[in-house]
Chain A
Amino acid sequence: MKAKSLYQRRLVNFIMLSITAGCALFSFLVLVMLIIALCKNGYPALTKTFFTALPAPPGVDEGGVSNALQGSIKMILFSALIGVPTGILAGLYIGELARNTRKADFVLNACGILSGTPTIVTGLFVYTLIVIPSGHFSGFAGITALTLIIIPVTARITAEILVQSSTAMREAAFALGASQWNVTFFVLLRAVRSGLASAILLTIARISGETAPLLFTALNNNYEADSLSQPTASITVTIFQYALSPFAERNDIAWGAALLLTLFILAVTLIARYTGKPQYLSRPLR
């Protein structure tokens, strides 16, 4: 085969570099435009009323989303409180207690399929499971849907982190005569805690942006829900409904809510990055 000339190689190199750099620039520009649009349209809406007032009737100014804020916080908090521990325990089973068994493989695959399921399907499932039998939408149904999204994701991440990162410490602890219980909770969980915390924060960031599963389950509410058995407003569903509204002041609120949500997710993601710094053996061996 004839060797390519230096000129040819340089040309190919230049073309490849230009194309990839162009694509990179494009995706960066999209992000910048998105942030500019969000800030320009959303920032003016973030007034004190926005945070403190209930929604106003259509066409009336002075409306806020205090109920949606509360609803979102409640639903995210409760689903995380139930889903994260359940997911971690399931992950411990898959990645440690039943490590390398067929049962664990089976559960891991199930979690893989579940976490790949479109969330609108999860919403529909909870709709038939809870909303139809109970006869009404409810915050409880919303929490159930979000929890069902959190569990398989958390379980899979926990199992994967455990299997990847812990062999050395696991063996060291067993070699000292530690029990399975002690190894699992005092050594392994400790060893993976920062990576795990960061993965969990990312999962929470992810469910914070979910709309489809709430649409079928918690729906919305113009007032503050007295209890979780009532339909419950959320930021995402509010964005969806207000953005489609023919009233300009509602569109503005939708922009404000979108900006708020993006800032929240951005903050959580940044915290997750910071938390997830690998610690174990990060120093060179000397």
Chain B
Amino acid sequence: MKNKPGLRKGNFFESIAKGERIVTETHAEINNEDITLDVKEFNLFYGAKQALFDINIKIPKGKVTSLIGPSGCGKSTLLRSVNRINDLLSIVRIEGNMYLNDDPIYDPAVDVIELRKRMGMVFQKPNPFPMTIFENVVYPLRIDGERNKNVLAEVCEKSLRGAALWEEVKDRLNDSALAISGGQQQRLCIARAIAAEPEVLLMDEPCSALDPIATNKIEDLIDAMRGEYTILMVTHNMQQAARTSDYTAFMYLGRLIEYGPTGTIFQAPHCQETSDYVTGRFG
């Protein structure tokens, strides 16, 4: 296949096969952004198996950034490294560092618990706690020892409104969170994740377990959160990335291949590999 004019010569796959180091094609637009999360020279190993290679990526403040790439390329691993939830697996070893608003994430002096409070995470499957809707939302405040009923109620309403769920559940805040639908549960998990006003919101394929209608609602919500929240989202679904995100990063075999504004990545990527992937030639 011939390279389109303007496309950089596609040689990433060859380089990966030879074990050479990949230098990400990062578009210049990123330099004009305020950076919330800065990943520098990050490598991650599951035991002897390396899952992330030399990742360098800057996540802009107040924007929605999508991680795309074929299954198993390390998107979830990268996301789970940001809040160090991968620490729960004893086999994980890392090199390099990340910075959340200039504070190092990986550092012996870092209090992981305090660090995680500065981030929110939404998982593939909705995972509400077996408590009431109210208690789910205010859980992040509870673990900080907040007891003031007015504060809790205020945060609960604000977060549920922020997750576009308030109108649906305001009359049954004391019902079990397991009694609402899957789509509502996922928005509840988003409300819980934003209750402590995180500096960055991590979402790992937040719609993959939901039907199209529930998916639409979450996408609308992500759209509405733009500006107020910094969102880093993994998605398997390229239309979703194209519809919802400002920036898109394409990963392949543990490497970050190309990273730039979503429109450019989908319509005029610099790299042949990205072009092949977004046009559905592989993946």
Contact = CB atoms under 8 A, between A and B. Distances in A.
A174 B130 CA distance: 15
Contact of A175 (B114, B119, B129, B178): B119
Interface string A159-172: 00000000011111
A280 B128 CA distance: 9
Contacts of A190: 129-131
**Which residue among B126, B139, B179 has the maximum number of chain A CB atoms within 10 Å of its CB?**
B139
B214 interface: yes
Interface string B106-137: 00000001111111110101110111000000
Given A191-B129, A191-B130, A286-B214, A176 B181 contact: no
Chain B interface size, under 10 / 10 to 19 / 20 to 34 / 35 or more: 35 or more
Interface stretch (A3-11, A120-128, A177-185): A177-185
Chain A interface size, under 10 / 10 to 19 / 20 to 34 / 35 or more: 20 to 34
Interface in B64-111: 83, 85, 88, 90
A169 B125 CA distance: 10
B182 to A, nearest CB: 3
B92 to A, nearest CB: 12
A178 B129 CA distance: 13
B130 A280 contact: yes
Contacts of B126: 285
Contacts of B121: 171-172, 175-176
B140 interface: yes
Interface string A265-286: 0000000000000011111111
A173 interface: yes
Contacts of B85: 171, 174-175
B17 interface: no
Given A171-B88, A175-B85, A283 B143 contact: no
A168 to B, nearest CB: 4
Contact of B117 (A100, A171, A177, A187): A177
29 contacts: A100-B90, A169-B127, A169-B130, A170-B88, A171-B85, A171-B88, A173-B129, A173-B139, A174-B88, A175-B83, A175-B119, A176-B116, A176-B121, A176-B192, A177-B113, A177-B114, A177-B115, A178-B113, A178-B143, A190-B129, A190-B130, A280-B130, A280-B178, A282-B178, A283-B178, A285-B181, A285-B182, A285-B210, A285-B211
Given A177-B140, A283-B181, 17 more contacts: A168-B123, A168-B125, A169-B129, A171-B127, A172-B127, A175-B121, A175-B193, A176-B140, A176-B196, A179-B143, A191-B130, A279-B176, A279-B178, A281-B125, A282-B178, A283-B182, A286-B183
Interface of A: 100-101, 168-179, 182, 187, 190-191, 193, 279-286
Interface of B: 83, 85, 88, 90, 113-121, 123, 125-127, 129-131, 139-140, 143, 176, 178-179, 181-183, 185, 189, 192-193, 196, 209-211, 214
